[in-house]
Amino acid sequence: MLTTRGIVLRVHNFSETSLIVRWLTEDFGRLSTLARGAKRPKSGFRGRLDLFGCNRFSFIHRKQSDLHLLKETENPEFFPALRKCYHRLEQASYAVHLLERNTEENTPVPELYTLFMDWLQRLNEIEESPEIVVLFELKFLHWLGLFPNLEQSNLSSPACYWMEQSLSTPLPEWIPNKWTSEVAVEVIRYLEEFMNHHLNKLPEDRVKALNAPAFDSGKWCS
């Protein structure tokens, strides 16, 4: 039996009593587990497998299958703001779609686990903002080794400065820089084109993730 820490990315019904739980883990990367009996009223899993909960858990690794058997979980840590605000859930879900499309299951990615955990914490702490979504895109591109060469781009100096500052600031210290609408339009459209080219196709929910209450994302995205 193996033990690790993980963040719940998705939960699916498997049967009338069981669930499939998909994780991003500290030691094994993305993996899927079967939680037998998790939907039963007296199951020890109840209340411990909610979306984006951070949990220490044990599982039996199945060599002949990508669906491993979940055995035990500890009391999870949750991000309260994500549980109270649907739009923050949309932003976190978009980040999940982005990392799922660009990582393989059962491949250790400890740096990505740390990045996603720190980003969720920041999403939980700050005021709602589309900047936090773009910040994840920048950090994720850098992790992939695909951060744009800004010197060869057609971006304005303010846009390049915002991107460089956001990338270089550690996530626990990052705060929204109150970018201007001009910089927002420029950066978001540039990244849309850049990621569509290098990552084939962006998740469709990017527009919803960027649609913070104080902004109109429609003017940003082509």
Last residue of a domain, one of 41, 56, 73: 73
Q: How many CB atoms lie within 10 A of CB 222?
A: 7
Same domain (yes/no): 126, 208: yes
pLDDT reported for residue 64:
86
pLDDT reported for residue 222:
45
- Please answer whether residues 1 and 60 qualify as being in contact, where contact means their C-beta atoms are separated by less than 8 angstroms: yes
Same domain (yes/no): 17, 85: no
Give the distance, in angstroms, between the CA of residue 17 and the centroid of all CA atoms in the same chain.
28
pTM of the full structure: 0.92
Same domain (yes/no): 33, 115: no
Last residue of a domain, one of 25, 40, 73: 73
Reference 140, options 122, 121, 115; nearest CA is 115
pLDDT reported for residue 75:
86
Same domain (yes/no): 137, 204: yes
Same domain (yes/no): 109, 201: yes
pLDDT reported for residue 217:
43
- Please answer whether residues 82 and 89 qualify as being in contact, where contact means their C-beta atoms are separated by less than 8 angstroms: yes
What are the structure tokens assigned to 121, written together? 């914490």
Angle, vertex CA 204, rays to CA 102 and CA 34, nearest 5: 55
Reference 192, options 145, 160, 148; nearest CA is 148
What are the structure tokens assigned to 201, written together? 């196709």
- Output the 3-class SS for 194-213: HHHHHCCCCCCCHHHHHCCC
pLDDT < 50: residue spans in the chain: 213-222
Same domain (yes/no): 128, 52: no
The parent domain of residue 54 ranges over 2-73
pLDDT reported for residue 214:
44
- Please answer whether residues 6 and 108 qualify as being in contact, where contact means their C-beta atoms are separated by less than 8 angstroms: no
